[in-house]
A = this chain, B = another copy of it.
Amino acid sequence: MDEARPSRRKSITPPGVTESTAQIDMGVLPHLMGYMLRQAQLLVYQDFHHAVAAGSPGIRPPQFSILEVVNRNPGLRPSDVATALGISRANLVPLLTDLATLGWLRRVDDETDGRAQSLHLTPLGATQLEDLRAKILPHEDRLATRLGPVGRDMLLLLLHALTTPDGETPSSGQK
């Protein structure tokens, strides 16, 4: 019985997200933004890992985002970082602790508000962040070559439009 499917050959197709599914009907999945966003994000995250893992173990996208935001906004508070990156305060704590343990980030108790802290990058953290950018940007550029000359800008524009609630102005967000 069974064998509703003809010819199950052992045609092992190379790994990757969608390539090995050539003869499988994916149904509506390729038409769902959620599914395709997940696949794309997995791919880019793998690229991030390849770009960063060797040289900066333990640094993943969230850690990089924290470094970037704190570097651009010295003295920022954990609470603000959490809302800016969409991370809960509770989940931010161990990330900040790890970065502080590395000596890349300092937590300074606020003098006017006994509850608050001010976050700053150490000189080491600043140079490491530069190093991370120098690794990440080329890899993103390499991936972007799959999208054609204006594809990357178009993708970012669409993603901004998607994540921008409504009355925002995403038109001024490009470099």
B32 touches A140 (CB 8 A): yes
Interface size on A, residues (CB 8 A): 95
Query: How close is A71's CB to chain B, nearest CB, in angstroms?
Result: 7
CB distance from A72 to the nearest CB of B (A): 4
Cα distance, A110 to B36, chains bound together (Å): 32
- Smallest Cβ distance from A120 to chain B, in angstroms? 9
1/0 contact string of A157-170 vs chain B (CB within 8 Å): 01111111110111
Q: Are A74 and B5 interface neighbours, CB within 8 A?
A: yes
Q: Is A102 an interface residue (CB 8 A)?
A: no
| Subset of 28 A-B contacts with CB under 8 Å | A4-B75, A5-B72, A12-B173, A14-B173, A16-B160, A16-B165, A16-B173, A18-B84, A18-B86, A18-B173, A25-B73, A26-B68, A27-B69, A27-B71, A28-B68, A28-B175, A29-B68, A30-B156, A30-B173, A33-B140, A33-B156, A38-B61, A40-B162, A40-B163, A43-B162, A147-B158, A154-B154, A155-B155
